[in-house]
Amino acid sequence: MEFGKRIQTPKAGSSANIGFENDVQHKTIIIGNGLSGRETAKAILKQKNNTAVTVIESKNFYESDIATPFALRKPELYEKNFSAPEHQLRIVGVEYITAKVVSVSPVDKASYIISLSSGEDILADAVVVCTSFSHPLTKAAVGSTWEERKAEMETYRKSVAAADTVMVVGGGTVGCEVAGTFRSMIKQGSKIVHVVSGDLLLSDKFSERERKMLTDKVKSFPEVELVTGDRLEGHPVASATKATYKLKSGREIVADVMIPSFAKFQTDFLPAEVKTKSGAVKVNSSLMSTEWKNVFAVGCSDLNEHCAIPKIANQATTVGKNVALVSNNKAEKLVKHTTGAPFLKAEYAVMYGDWGMMLNDEIGCLGALCFACGFPFPCCLAPCTPWCGVCGLNCTRPAGKNVPAFFEAMFSKGPFGPVLGKANKSAPAPPSMER
Ligand SMILES: Cc1cc2nc3c(=O)[nH]c(=O)nc-3n(C[C@H](O)[C@H](O)[C@H](O)COP(=O)(O)OP(=O)(O)OC[C@H]3O[C@@H](n4cnc5c(N)ncnc54)[C@H](O)[C@@H]3O)c2cc1C
């Protein structure tokens, strides 16, 4: 490898053609092309930078993970609205590599070797880790293909529909959404066993009142058995095949489908010294690694912010500015990160399948909901005014079906979110860059 050139050196026999203009002095690698990676790439390009930007992504498709529970119920929408081949979402000016990163190691004080599963190495001056967390079923596995992902969802769809018992373990927001989604997919007479370690659903990021409201509601669903104060023994993985599971209390549950709803940061390719025990990248106030210069993290750092879109988008803005500064040799001017949407301490809506509630306690004041719909103030000019409240983003506590109805309308009507709306369906597939 020619370190001085700051370019990737493909292995002999590789068909890859990853070159950079001779005058580009600096090279930034973004690992992961979900919301975090994509927003970061855009944020770097927005700045006056002096860096080439390469995104390395393990999958050959883009998926809007927030919509996957919904897509389990509405398979036709998965391909249409919630996912797309990766090349249809490429940003002009960014280079893309389809590969899994297996390690990142420092070369000198500010250069890194990024090793790919193919055995190839790439040299970078700045690295942004955007690999998020893993979660069974609602997030695609690292390195999976679009076809494998669609097949995985279909397998679970069929197994849940045929199941007598479906078990979901974990009472976080995603666990609730998954258990609630399955609730609307099971056949009559079947049941959901939802196991949580505490007495209440959700974490202590949410107010006691909100947690109790949701827990009481779920207890009233006849087809759901909410098991509180218990845990699953061992570390079973998600399964769509009948098996017996043992809880800490000694109770055994036979389930046809089981989802352990636990998230884990996907940073196995980093050494222990740069991350916390849970795998979050340790960062300073500029979102740069506390251990490695010019290595940043978006959506997977130890910053005390929950993993939500407005927070991630703001982290990407901070990192975009800082990468640009580093590439212009102005590292002493790095900007400090300020949290995005400061009123959001936790999520502002929680779904239990086709039932959901707005978390007004969490938001603190009703006015904080302003702009949540995307329409500028004053509300009286909004075209939706005649149907006020239908969306769930109104000034009441709409604990009921209107919150999921709002999301359902949003998901069903068109491409969801800022990203999939931009998919260029007619973009030609690039020559294979796979490694
Ligand atoms: C079910 C669900 C519901 C949610 N609901 C909401 C919500 O209502 N509101 C909200 O604000 N947020 C919500 N979130 C959270 C938020 O939307 C997501 O966490 C966010 O989309 C994550 O984006 P990301 O880019 O960080 O992660 P991802 O989209 O997972 O992207 C990470 C990428 O990194 C790649 N990668 C990982 N490891 C490697 C490797 N070694 N080499 C190469 N590539 C790698 C992966 O393949 C993946 O594509 C929800 C999340 C889930 C799962």
Dihedral angle of Cα 74, 76, 82, 85, to the nearest 10 degrees: 150
Q: Which of 65, 114, 55 is nearest to 86 (CA)?
A: 55
Mean pLDDT throughout 284-300?
A: 97
> Which of the listed residues 259, 309, 311, 403 should we mutate to test ligand 1's pocket, taking the one with most ligand atoms within 8 A of CB?
309
Whether 3-58+99-135+264-333 and 146-260 share one fold: the answer is: yes
Q: Distance, CA 169 to ligand 1 centroid (Å)?
A: 20
Angle at 320 between CA 318 and CA 326, to 5 degrees: 100
Checking if the pLDDT of 107 tops 50, the result is yes
pLDDT digits (tens, 9 = 90+) for 205-257: 888 988 999 999 999 999 999 999 999 999 889 999 999 999 999 999 999 99
Looking only at the bridges linking them, the beta strands covering 243-246 and 252-255 are antiparallel
- Do residues 28 and 125 lie in contact, with contact meaning Cβ atoms separated by under 8 Å? yes
Checking if the pLDDT of 391 tops 80, the result is no
- If one compares 425 and 280, the residue with the highest pLDDT of the two is 280
Residue nearest to atom 19 of ligand 1 (CA): 307
Q: Distance, CA 315 to ligand 1 centroid (Å)?
A: 14
Q: Which residues pair with 181 in a beta bridge?
A: none
69 C-beta closer than 6 A to ligand 1: yes
Checking if the pLDDT of 396 tops 80, the result is no
The CATH superfamily holding the domain 146-260 is FAD/NAD(P)-binding domain (3.50.50.60)
Q: Distance, CA 133 to ligand 1 centroid (Å)?
A: 7
Q: Give the model's pLDDT for residue 357.
A: 86
Tokens of 247: 């809880």
Please state, in angstroms and rounded to a whole number, the distance separating the CA atoms of residues 371 and 386: 17
Dihedral angle of Cα 156, 157, 158, 164, to the nearest 10 degrees: 80
The fold of the 3-58+99-135+264-333 domain, in CATH, is FAD/NAD(P)-binding domain (3.50.50)
Q: Which atom of ligand 1 is nearest to the CA of 263?
A: 53
Residue 201: left (phi > 0), alpha (psi -120 to 50), or beta? beta
Please state, in angstroms and rounded to a whole number, the distance separating the CA atoms of residues 411 and 415: 7
Q: Which residues pair with 357 in a beta bridge?
A: 350
Chain-centroid distance, C-alpha 215? 25
64 C-beta closer than 6 A to ligand 1: no
**387 — pLDDT class (breaks 50, 70, 90):** low
The rounded mean pLDDT for the chain is 86
Please state, in angstroms and rounded to a whole number, the distance separating the CA atoms of residues 381 and 359: 25
Mean pLDDT throughout 291-295?
A: 96
Please state, in angstroms and rounded to a whole number, the distance separating the CA atoms of residues 214 and 299: 27
Strand order in the sheet with 121-124: 101-108, 111-116, 121-124
**160 — pLDDT class (breaks 50, 70, 90):** very high
Tokens of 398: 């709409």
pLDDT digits (tens, 9 = 90+) for 366-384: 555 555 565 666 666 666 6
Checking if the pLDDT of 311 tops 80, the result is yes
Q: Distance, CA 63 to ligand 1 centroid (Å)?
A: 8
pLDDT digits (tens, 9 = 90+) for 322-335: 999 999 999 999 99
Strand order in the sheet with 51-57: 94-98, 51-57, 26-31, 126-129, 295-297
Domain ranges of the chain: 3-58+99-135+264-333, 146-260, 355-409
DSSP character for 53? E
Q: Any idea which of 167-176, 186-195, 395-404 has the lowest mean pLDDT?
A: 395-404
pLDDT digits (tens, 9 = 90+) for 356-365: 987 777 666 5
Q: Give the model's pLDDT for residue 329.
A: 94
Q: Distance, CA 300 to ligand 1 centroid (Å)?
A: 9
Sole residue written with tokens 């020559």: 431
Q: Distance, CA 201 to ligand 1 centroid (Å)?
A: 22
Burial 202-226 (b: 16+ CB within 10 A, else e): beeebbeebbebbbebbeebeebbb
68 C-beta closer than 6 A to ligand 1: yes
